[in-house]
Chain A
Amino acid sequence: MASIDLLLANLLSPVVLAFVLGVLAQLVKSDLEFPPPLYDALSIYLLFAIGLKGGAELSVTPIAEFLGPAALTLLLGVVTPITAYAVLRRLGRFDRTNAAAVAAHYGSVSAVTFIASTAFAERAGVAAEGFMPALVAILEVPAIVVALMIAHVRGSAAGSWKTALREIMAGRSIVLMLGGLVIGAVAGKSGMEPVAPFFVEGFKGALTLFLLEMGMAAASRLRDLKQVGAFLVGFGIFVPILHGALAVWGADFIGMGIGGAAVLGAMVSSASYIAAPAAVRIALPKASPTLYLTSSLGITFPFNLTLGIPLYYAMATWLAR
């Protein structure tokens, strides 16, 4: 499918439109509210399902095929918080604490962006490699650690980075995704068959509903845009593109398929807004949540969802030519 068609198909997909609806609902001050348990249930379902699916695929993947992408992901996970930190300090003139806090977010990953990009790749007919969820787990933690280490070494970490690290490792995303991966891998494709109807059939619906809440959450950050300043707005768009391009190029270089490269691009460009904020709040309490949440949730996530994912796909297609 031509890139423009895919861009439009993406923008008009229920997933993206639900996100838009959430934004609109917030803007008209609707009393629509997602009860926290519903939000929790959906995120548990999505994270676990992703892990299970990835694990089942991993069980039929030769180790050799997985090692290259895994190593690349780890490398990107370590490099991207450093590039983000450098841009924020040198170009943005941010103080160390806030630069490290935001860098932790941009080095890490948004599971929802990952999920949306896999759906996009499927729609484009180039499904990504099945073991991608394992890469999400690999990407999530190192970046936060690296960013906290930068802050620690520079003497501006007020909280305990060890506590923060333990929190992330035991955090919901990691436990569900890694746990799901292990279960899926051990059960294998045949073992997963009985539960496939629940975890596979309902997946896209749950994702759509979840994106509705994400739209509301992102929109509630919009009023902080003025506060964060033009630099961070630009940062929230251009640094993801930079990181995404880096990832797509690396993936193509090591021989991943177009779908895998596009999804990796989306993953690496995405910014965490669940694991990273929790860790940063503990380890860098002096950092301003307005800066890191608004940029990751209010700017980067919507950008990636609408324009970024198709862009990384276009990059991957162009490179594979």
Chain B
Amino acid sequence: MHTVDLKLVTVITERLLKDRVLDDLRKCGAKGFTISNATGEGSRGVRASEWEGQNLRIESVVSRAVADKIVEAIADDFFENYAVIVFLHDVQVVRGDKYV
């Protein structure tokens, strides 16, 4: 089967930032995304609000170039003040043009 190599960008973020993170994703060229709930702890150790609800895992399959843009945008916008992490995976997909 013929597959295409792309990148999976995963952003784990406070729920409060959902709209802003999605805006960043779209602006950088992501064509879609999947959101799921997440809980956990991090180096910041600060749980900002009881009622924000669970954290979010936002995933998007994108090209290498878009992935780099996303990582930079997320880092610039959120790393300083919020509990957000972002990382990349290599993925192989069929229907490559669906994502780019």
Is B3 on the interface with A (CB-CB < 8 A)?
no
Is A274 on the interface with B (CB-CB < 8 A)?
yes
In the complex, what residues of B have CB within 8 A of residue A274's CB? 49, 51
- Within the assembled complex, what's the spacing in Å between the Cα atoms of A289 and B45? 11
Contact (Cβ within 8 A) A278 B16? yes
In the complex, what residues of B have CB within 8 A of residue A39's CB? 51
Contact (Cβ within 8 A) B16 A36? no
In the complex, what residues of A have CB within 8 A of residue B53's CB? 36
Is A72 on the interface with B (CB-CB < 8 A)?
no
Q: B22-49 interface mask toward A, CB cutoff 8 Å, 1 = contact, 0 = none?
A: 0000000000000000000000001111
Is A142 on the interface with B (CB-CB < 8 A)?
no
Interface positions, chain A 267-292, Cβ under 8 Å from B, are: 273-274, 277-278, 281-282, 285-286, 288-290
Give the size of the chain B interface in residues (CB under 8 angstroms).
13
Contact (Cβ within 8 A) B49 A278? yes
Contact (Cβ within 8 A) A277 B48? yes
- Within the assembled complex, what's the spacing in Å between the Cα atoms of A173 and B47? 22
Specify which of A36, A281, A288 is in contact with B49 (CB 8 Å cutoff): A281
- Within the assembled complex, what's the spacing in Å between the Cα atoms of A216 and B54? 17
In the complex, what residues of A have CB within 8 A of residue B76's CB? none
Interface positions, chain B 46-79, Cβ under 8 Å from A, are: 46-54
Question: Could you tell me which B residues sit within 8 Å of A by CB distance?
Answer: 16, 46-54, 80-82
Question: Could you tell me which A residues sit within 8 Å of B by CB distance?
Answer: 36, 39, 158, 217, 220, 273-274, 277-278, 281-282, 285-286, 288-290, 293, 297
Pairs A-B, 7 closest by C-beta atoms = A285-B81, A289-B48, A277-B49, A217-B50, A36-B53, A274-B51, A289-B46
